[in-house]
Amino acid sequence: MRRLVALFLTALVLATLAPQAEAQTSEPDSRVRAQKPDSRLRGVGKRVVFSTGAGDARPSRFVIVRNQGGGTMNVGPVTITGTNASSFSLEDPAQDTTFSLGPDEVQNVEVLFDPSGAAGRYDAVLNLPTNEAPAGTVVQVRLKGLNADGYEMELEPTLYKILTTLGYEPGVGDPNRFP
């Protein structure tokens, strides 16, 4: 019998650079989603978005891993890979990257975004290998970050940068002229 495992993802969504912009997913699903399923967000799933300005520190975001199956679920080792992997890290370096969850148990995996002061867009992947069928399943969560030069006027990121960080590819404008 195949074990059903659901992974939940709680993420803050970049609507503005205000730290209060928040959206959570609480619907059970066998996949990871960063936002509630909705016709406007279908192409943006499995993503955690971070934002900051002028390299300011921001709170970590976390992925909630929940075992909804009847047996033990093994997860790990949890890794961060990709183009800008060094700008993302586990919040607690001592956090166990391999763990087991019994039925209905939950584990938070906290991720921190530290762009080291360089303005721009950042992209990496949080890899969560599990023993969920089929064997060797690795759930991948995109980590997207945006570090603005500042918070006002010309220091703010362009709408194009915000939309592409969120995962949308706007068909308007020239990204080479207005990066």
| Percent above pLDDT 90 for the chain | 13
- Mean pLDDT of all residues in the chain? 69
Spatial separation of the C-alpha atoms in residues 11 and 103, rounded to whole Å: 24
pLDDT in tens, 37-75: 333 333 335 778 888 887 777 888 888 888 877 888 888
pTM of model > 0.85: no
Q: In CATH, which superfamily holds the domain spanning 6-166?
A: Immunoglobulins (2.60.40.10)
User: CB count, 10 Å around CB of 116?
Assistant: 9
Confidence at residue 84, expressed as pLDDT on a 0 to 100 scale: 93
Query: Has residue 100 got a pLDDT over 60?
Result: yes
What gap in Å lies between CA 9 and CA 101, rounded to an integer?
Answer: 16
Higher pLDDT, 34 or 28: 34
Whose structure tokens read 């990204």? 175
Give me the phi and psi of 150, to 5 degrees please.
-175, -160
